[in-house]
Amino acid sequence: MTAQAILICYVALAILDLAWGILLTALNYRSVASHGGSVPEELSEKLSSEEAAKAAEYSKAKMRLSFVASPIMTAIVLAAAVLGLFGLLDRFFGGFVTDAYWRGALFLGALAVAQALIGSPVSLYATFSLERRFGFNTTKAKTWLLDRLKSALISAILGLPLLYLLYAFIDDAGSLWWLSAAAIFSVIDLCLSLIYPLVIAPLFNKFTPLPEGGLASRIAELAHRLDFKVSGIFVMDGSKRSRHSNAYFTGLGRVKRIVLFDTLVSQMSEDEVLAVLAHEIGHEKKRHVLKGTILSVVLSFLAFWVLDRFMGWGALYAAFGFAAPSKHALLLILALVSGPATFFLAPAFSAWSRKHEYEADAFAAGAAGADALASSLVRLNRENASNLWPHPWYSAWNYSHPTLRERLAAIRKASSG
């Protein structure tokens, strides 16, 4: 295949990916608009018309932003590829940096900075206009900026050594370098899962042990009854950025932590908090975390194998404007191509995730009560103004969680059976 043919295929796939996403979003928008903020019949006693109207307007506002942002971002990337701007940037750094590693680090770092700058207007609008308009945003401009600076610093601290390690494997580990590299990077990924809640997460949020009392005692009793060992129960100051609420557990082995957003603790009853946590524990008990880890490892091995297969394909580099093959050029090309080339797999991954959510809901209903779980899901939907009328094609393609109505129907069916 010639360089021109490769570029044409990439552009066609990227446009197809964008067009399909816009079509699904348009269907979703029409679905929400056609119901005019009405309350589904089965939720008529649980949600008010004002809450349903807010959810509809919030959903439509986010979709309108997507209609603008997605084509612009895609157009920028495609223009850079077609005009050979990636190759020009590579040759610019090659003019004064001869070391392959540092040339790659500068090249990829410059692209990361460019991506952050280009994406900042959308992030600023979403945070300080859209989210604020609907009463969700509590982020200060200083916090927003510090978050991005911290993320960039962490990416550099972690990314530079990992890039060096990748180069070392490619150069010195022989023809099967990708096997050993995939194994080592998978281990590193697991180690980062252990380090994240202890070192990285506290750089962004404050985690305070849940005060002793009724809720802490009931959570401890639930964890003991379900044989779920944790190192602690913490409240995260999520309200410093948003009024959205959530709960999760993080870490592996003995460093698993239960984390509650302070917004969730203030919004929910104790029974509802327990139901939410039982759902998260259900993911662990049903081995969803283990299955996800295995899938991640498999995909990691596949990615390194693909990296090895395409490394010597000269036409691929030429298609994106590079004068010669290089490791950093291939990393960029695969990052650009992977999304458009695999977008059709999204519904399979979404369906797999939704299956896990149904299983975790069933576990939570048995552990904390179906009524409490249903009430917690309705409250989460209300407090987060989630879409009540998603188009079935859109949710099937994009939703990692079943819709509220689907989850409630499954809970009712399981409890009645």
* Cα dist from 46 to 379, 391, 408, whole Å: 9, 22, 12
State whether the Cα torsion 16-21-25-28 is positive or negative: positive
Catalytic residues: 280, 361
* Cα dist from 244 to 168, 200, 309, whole Å: 43, 21, 44
Per the CB < 8 A criterion, the answer to whether 265 and 235 are in contact is yes
Distance CA 338, CA 316 (A): 14
Distance CA 389, CA 38 (A): 9
Distance CA 95, CA 99 (A): 11
Which residues are CB-neighbours of 283 under 8 A, at least 6 positions away? 289, 356, 360
Burial degree of 14 (CB within 10 A; 0-12, 13-18, 19+): buried
Other CB atoms within 10 Å distance of the CB of residue 257:
18
Strands (E), 170-323: 207-209, 232-236, 247-250, 257-261
Residue whose tokens read 């779920």: 228
User: Does residue 349 come out as left (phi exceeding 0), alpha (psi in the -120 to 50 range) or beta?
Assistant: alpha
Q: How far is CA 381 from the centre of its chain?
A: 19
Other CB atoms within 10 Å distance of the CB of residue 317:
24
Distance CA 92, CA 361 (A): 54
DSSP string, 372-386: HHHHHHHHHHHHHT-
Per the CB < 8 A criterion, the answer to whether 353 and 401 are in contact is yes
